[in-house]
Chain A
Amino acid sequence: EPEVTQTPSHQVTQMGQEVILRCVPISNHLYFYWYRQILGQKVEFLVSFYNNEISEKSEIFDDQFSVERPDGSNFTLKIRSTKLEDSAMYFCATRDRGYEQYFGPGTRLTVT
């Protein structure tokens, strides 16, 4: 069964550094999302992406965040200058023309 994959599974970085989180969507899926979940809290929407552009973003998704689909297969989330409060699980989710979103295994980001 096709799955969303994410790399790395765990990323440790120092405050102020840039990180890039990678996602490979299910092959025929057209809509891509990033969510995050701070430990013990609910899953929060960050951004949605369709047809090579952002279709919606939340108030969390400020200028330090960016997304792109550089090569037609990967979907990336870049955090330019990480802060302690960016420590969380980051999930990529994808869907086809239906409404069901399928989540990848996540990247645990730890900012020290």
Chain B
Amino acid sequence: QKEVEQNSGPLSVPEGAIASLNCTYSDRGSQSFFWYRQYSGKSPELIMFIYSNGDKEDGRFTAQLNKASQYVSLLIRDSQPSDSATYLCAVNRGYGNNRLAFGKGNQVVVIP
């Protein structure tokens, strides 16, 4: 079983629509959860992090965490062409074991 799974294929959304991305993880000891955005040929850029069950909103981004079901999701509202990128889900166990385990990523294409 993969540690972090992002199974959806490329996601095409019209400009102004909501993009929804999902991620599941296998380690129940995981404590903190991150979404990174990666443009082609560039490094991962942190856009959201969440530690507690529920929703966390930051601008057009909302992260949702459900530890019982072991999934974390990202919503991008009012999608813009500049949101076209690969979104990486990353998980770590928190204090004392800080490595990030990444999923393969989901490509998002926002169509003007």
Q: Residues of A with Cβ closer than 8 Å to B?
A: 31, 33, 35, 41-45, 48, 55-56, 58, 89, 91, 93, 95, 99-106
| Cα-based distance from A45 to B46 in the complex (angstroms) | 16
Chain A contact residues, majority secondary structure: strand
Bitwise interface map of B from 26 to 61 toward A, beta carbon under 8 Å scored 1, else 0: 000001101010000011111001010000000000
| Cα-based distance from A35 to B97 in the complex (angstroms) | 15
Q: Residues of B with Cβ closer than 8 Å to A?
A: 31-32, 34, 36, 42-46, 49, 51, 88, 90, 92, 94, 97-105
Give the chain A neighbours of B36 by CB distance below 8 A. 103
Chain B contact residues, majority secondary structure: loop
B43 x A48 contact (CB < 8 A): no
Give the chain B neighbours of A48 by CB distance below 8 A. 98-99
Other-chain contact of A43, B44, B51, B98 (Cβ < 8 Å): B44
A100 x B46 contact (CB < 8 A): yes
Give the chain B neighbours of A89 by CB distance below 8 A. 43
| Cα-based distance from A3 to B100 in the complex (angstroms) | 19
Other-chain contact of A104, B43, B94, B105 (Cβ < 8 Å): B43
| Cα-based distance from A100 to B103 in the complex (angstroms) | 17
A43 x B99 contact (CB < 8 A): no
Give the chain A neighbours of B44 by CB distance below 8 A. 43, 91, 103
B43 x A58 contact (CB < 8 A): no
Give the chain B neighbours of A99 by CB distance below 8 A. 31-32, 49, 51, 92, 94, 98
A101 x B104 contact (CB < 8 A): no
Selected A-B contacts with CB under 8 Å, 9 pairs: A31-B98, A35-B100, A41-B104, A42-B103, A45-B100, A55-B98, A100-B49, A105-B43, A106-B43
Cβ of B12 to closest chain A Cβ, rounded Å: 20
The answer to whether A42 and B102 touch (CB under 8 A), given A100-B46, A105-B42, A106-B43, is yes
